[in-house]
């Protein structure tokens, strides 16, 4: 039986960013240095395959520091932690390594600097997301106001409109954030903030690549986890940019073949926490059913790398 033809537009950049790569290396190197178990507060990155692989090597994942013993090392996830977390670990004299992405730490520093300059902080982010909790937790409780939407901007109750600053989560939708920042600047003309927002290079590049492929795709799959903010944003970007069927899949087993019936073109990308091995698994599943041609659509090249903390580095 001849298989139907399918052109796969493979978006690039996709998958692991420099912050994810570094965070995973930190866990691996910590296990190598201190032996198992090494505790990790929160999923090191939002991907079950990555977490399961590290668990097999000796990592123990917990949600709170209270769940860790005093005498084993603990790693803080790439999303960042409130200041209270390293403070509690220090008090308990624990060995800890902070795997917060340097681009998230940069936002923490920004928030603290504005606060020290006497400005009230507004954070644009998603309520309850660990990065938002971590960034808001750089300042005393109640000092950071959260806005999630343009509608929230109209409702936010500030102390003094002339003494305000804003920061953002790093994995937001670039286009949605433009609107929220514009609403903030309109309502509070004196507000201080980054030139545009704090969305990182990896989030921006992955969204741009999806924009380039989405209009030509009958369907688009994002390899990523349901708790991965940046991955979910890629699904939204595809849907908003002309692709009628955009879906998140963690593994090939999650592909809804019936929904894809009759497609001739398919976009594939992956969130910043999704390993390439899972992208290949998805492509192979299509090869089993279609006569596949893969076309790489590359909208940017990335060569950013972050160093791991000195405590883990093995001297040359
Ligand atoms: O949910 P998310 O997009 O913030 O995190 P994920 O672990 O999926 O990807 C890496 C992004 C980080 C650590 C936040 F910048
Ligand atoms: Fe860092 Fe951006 Fe990756 Fe988040 S998505 S870990 S901010 S590089």
Give a yes or no: residue 303 inside a domain.
Answer: no
Give a yes or no: residue 310 inside a domain.
Answer: no
Give a yes or no: residue 181 inside a domain.
Answer: yes
254 flagged as catalytic: no
CATH of the domain at 82: 3.40.50.11270
Atom of ligand 2 nearest to the CA of 171: 5
User: What pTM does this model have?
Assistant: 0.98
Atom of ligand 1 nearest to the CA of 271: 8
Q: In this structure, are 239 and 290 located in the same domain? A: yes
Domain finish residue from 101, 120, 140? 101
By residue count, the chain amounts to: 316
How much is the pLDDT for 65? 98
Q: In this structure, are 262 and 278 located in the same domain? A: yes
Domain finish residue from 49, 79, 101? 101
Domain finish residue from 123, 152, 187? 187
Give a yes or no: residue 316 inside a domain.
Answer: no
How much is the pLDDT for 123? 98
Binding residues: 17, 46, 79, 101, 129, 170, 200, 228-230, 273
Count of structural domains within the chain = 3
Tell me if 33 sits within 8 A of 26, measured CB to CB.
Answer: no
Q: In this structure, are 93 and 137 located in the same domain? A: no
Give a yes or no: residue 195 inside a domain.
Answer: no
Q: Indicate if ligand 2 lies below 6 Å from the C-beta of 202.
A: yes
Binding residues for isopentenyl diphosphate: 46, 79, 129, 228-230, 273
Q: Indicate if ligand 2 lies below 6 Å from the C-beta of 104.
A: yes
Give, in order, the Cα–Cα distances in Å from 301 to each of 17, 200, 219. Answer: 12, 14, 24
Give a yes or no: residue 96 inside a domain.
Answer: yes
For residue 51, what are the contacts with CB-CB under 8 A and spacing of at least 6? 43, 44, 45, 59, 61
**d(CA 146, ligand 2 centre) in Å:** 20
Q: Which listed residue (43, 110, 131, 197) is catalytic?
A: 131
Q: Per-10-residue mean pLDDT for the chain, 316 residues long? A: 95 99 98 98 99 99 98 98 98 98 98 98 98 98 97 98 98 98 98 97 99 98 99 98 98 98 98 99 99 98 97 83
Q: In this structure, are 205 and 294 located in the same domain? A: yes
Q: In this structure, are 126 and 96 located in the same domain? A: no
How much is the pLDDT for 315? 74
**d(CA 289, ligand 1 centre) in Å:** 32
CATH of the domain at 130: 3.40.1010.20
**d(CA 40, ligand 2 centre) in Å:** 18
Q: In this structure, are 37 and 97 located in the same domain? A: yes
Contacts 24+ apart (CB under 8 A), 66-69: 67/39, 68/39, 68/41, 68/94, 69/39
How much is the pLDDT for 188? 98
Q: In this structure, are 293 and 205 located in the same domain? A: yes
Q: Identify the domain containing residue 163 by its residue range.
A: 105-187
Give a yes or no: residue 309 inside a domain.
Answer: no
CB atoms near residue 315 (< 10 Å):
3
Q: In this structure, are 159 and 124 located in the same domain? A: yes
Give a yes or no: residue 117 inside a domain.
Answer: yes
Pocket test for ligand 1, best of 41, 79, 274 (most atoms within 8 A of CB): 79
Q: In this structure, are 110 and 164 located in the same domain? A: yes
Q: In this structure, are 35 and 94 located in the same domain? A: yes
Q: Indicate if ligand 2 lies below 6 Å from the C-beta of 101.
A: yes
Q: In this structure, are 134 and 148 located in the same domain? A: yes
**d(CA 45, ligand 1 centre) in Å:** 6
């Amino acid at each position: 039986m001849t298989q139907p033809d399918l052109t796969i537009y493979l978006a690039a950049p996709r998958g692991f960013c420099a912050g994810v790569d570094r965070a995973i290396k930190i866990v691996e190197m910590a296990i190598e240095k201190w032996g198992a178990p090494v505790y990790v507060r929160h999923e090191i990155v939002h991907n079950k395959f990555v977490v399961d692989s590290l668990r097999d090597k000796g990592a123990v994942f917990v949600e709170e520091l209270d769940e860790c013993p005093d005498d084993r090392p603990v790693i803080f996830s790439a999303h960042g932690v409130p200041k209270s977390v390293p403070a509690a670990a220090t008090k308990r004299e624990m060995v800890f390594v902070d795997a917060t992405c340097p681009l998230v730490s940069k936002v923490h520093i920004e928030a603290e600097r504005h606060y020290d300059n006497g400005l009230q902080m507004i954070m644009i982010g998603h309520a309850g997301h660990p990065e938002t909790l971590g960034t808001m937790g750089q300042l005393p409780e109640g000092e950071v106001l959260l806005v999630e939407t343009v509608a929230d901007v109209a409702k936010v109750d500030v102390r003094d409109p002339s003494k305000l600053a804003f920061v953002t989560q790093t994995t937001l939708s670039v286009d949605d954030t433009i609107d929220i920042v514009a609403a903030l600047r309109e309502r509070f003309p004196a507000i201080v903030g980054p030139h545009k927002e704090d969305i990182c290079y990896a989030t921006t590049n992955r969204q741009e690549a999806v924009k380039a492929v989405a209009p030509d795709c009958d369907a688009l799959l994002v390899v990523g986890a349901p708790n991965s903010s940046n991955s979910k944003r890629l699904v939204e970007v595809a849907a908003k940019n002309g692709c009628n069927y955009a879906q998140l899949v963690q593994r090939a087993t999650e592909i809804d073949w019936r929904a894809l019936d009759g497609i001739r073109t398919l976009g594939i990308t992956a969130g910043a926490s999704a390993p390439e091995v899972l992208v290949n698994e998805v492509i192979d599943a299509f090869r089993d059913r279609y006569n596949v041609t893969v076309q790489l659509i590359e909208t940017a090249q990335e060569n950013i790398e972050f160093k791991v903390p000195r405590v883990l580095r093995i001297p040359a």
